[in-house]
Amino acid sequence: MTAELHRQALTHRSAGQVNNERLEFLGDALVNFVVADELFRRFPKVDEGTLTRMRAALVRESALAELARELDLGAKLILGPGELKSGGHRRDSILADAVEALAAATYVQQGLDAATQLVRDWFAPRVAALDPAWHGKDGKTRLQEWLQAKGLGLPAYQLIAAEGPEHAKTFEVSCEVEALQQKRHARGHSRKLAETRAAEALLAELEKKA
């Protein structure tokens, strides 16, 4: 990869017009595809819903940011003055974008095979550590089991809003673990879906901090 393209992949939009936004756009699709392909091949008996949840666990923002920290990308990011001052090199969204941009830059410069191998190498230990039985459970069940394993009480769900016509309502729900002072909100086209999404978001945050 040329030094110029590598620099662009690590340049946040706050640092100028030549930045990694376009590369991040391409890299998002690339990382999702390679991870999906790896899961499809590695777990031939796992159903589509579980594969989807497994992929989501691997490519969510917090997981990509953790990978970026392992690669020490924070110290290499090129940020504008405002982001430098506010600690942008530690922000999950900026770190995750840099991972995706680097994958895309490898694809642009070296082709699909090289980019695919890079992403596979990045995710190999994470894929190996996945448990389909765990990810086959919905977010509410997984959150409950995680809390029980820590000796904590059940999460509390609260309906925040229900908007739209009766046949096409959108529900907003909060999921809170009072003992940990953690709460997340999510929306869905049913209350159950909103609760599941809120539980998944909260579990992702708790796992990140564990």
Residues within the annotated binding site for Mg(2+)? 24, 97, 100
CA distance 104 to 90: 22
CA distance 123 to 82: 32
CA distance 98 to 57: 18
The secondary element (H helix, E strand) that includes residue 204 is helix 191-209
CA separation, residue 38 to residues 32, 49, 71, 101, 158 (Å): 10, 16, 21, 20, 37
Output DSSP code: residue 136: T
CA distance 210 to 192: 26
Enzyme catalytic residues: 28, 100
For residues 170 and 112, is the Cβ–Cβ distance under 8 A?
A: no
